[in-house]
Amino acid sequence: MTHGPRRATVTEVAQLAGVSRMTVYRRYESLDRIIFELLTAELAQVLSQLTVDPEQGTARERTTKAVTTVIRETATHPVLAQILRIDPEALTPLMVSRFGHTQQAAVAALTPLIAAGMSTTGGDGSIPDGNPEVVAQSIIISVQSWVFASPAIDDLPNSESVWNQLPGLVAGMLTQCSEGHHV
């Protein structure tokens, strides 16, 4: 991570890990796979530390807080922040070519929070009825751009004011009609 994923080599990774190059290749077919696995493990840890108090606010409020907390923690995660600083292009495939393990884990964590707000799933009615998984996927697709844009946001003179817009954006997404209906 010192000089970025694109400038690192498998030989360097093997030396730092104290194993042979072939051992690394047997476990991971490429340096990109190592980076993706590292990010998946690190960001899964961020998700695993998420706690939601079911007694605090409506399901929409709890979901909004959970999403914004995870986005801020992800954006400031040391591994991701370092890659974004020195080699952001290495992360482009995570946004544009697949819905990876980390996004799927985020959807899995978010779906029950959203369902808890939908009256058709026995929730409190604070989120319009629809498919909670589709709503979760839509939110993840939308807010992941905040993670990838975090260095640019943080360079703004009013960065904290910009970050403070995120909860309203998420809450707004959770108040929209779903299943293709337009407000």
The number of folded domains in the chain is 1
Q: What is the pLDDT of residue 3?
A: 66
> Cβ distance 84 to 5 under 8 Å?
no
* pLDDT for residue 38: 82
Q: Does some domain include residue 3? A: no
Domain containing residue 106: 10-175
How do the pLDDT tens digits run along the chain, 183 residues long? Answer: 666 666 778 888 889 889 998 998 889 888 878 888 888 888 888 888 888 887 889 999 999 999 999 999 999 988 888 888 888 887 777 777 778 888 898 999 999 999 999 999 999 999 999 999 999 999 999 999 999 899 999 999 999 999 999 999 999 999 985 555 444
Query: Which of 137, 182, 136, 142 is CA-nearest to residue 165?
Result: 142
Tell whether 104 is covered by a domain. yes
Look at the alpha carbons of 25, 31, 37, 38 in this order and tell me if their dihedral is positive or negative. positive
pLDDT of residue 120: 92
pTM for the complete prediction?
0.82
Is residue 133, in this structure, part of any structural domain at all? yes
- Report the CATH number that the domain containing residue 89 is assigned in CATH: 1.10.357.10
Domain membership of residue 180 (yes or no) is: no
Flag whether 183 is in a domain.
Answer: no
pLDDT for the residue 2: 67
Q: What's the pLDDT at 179?
A: 56
Task: Collect all residues with Cβ–Cβ distance below 8 Å to 13 and sequence separation of at least 6.
Answer: 24, 31, 34
- What's the rounded Cα separation, in Å, for the pair 49 and 21? 34
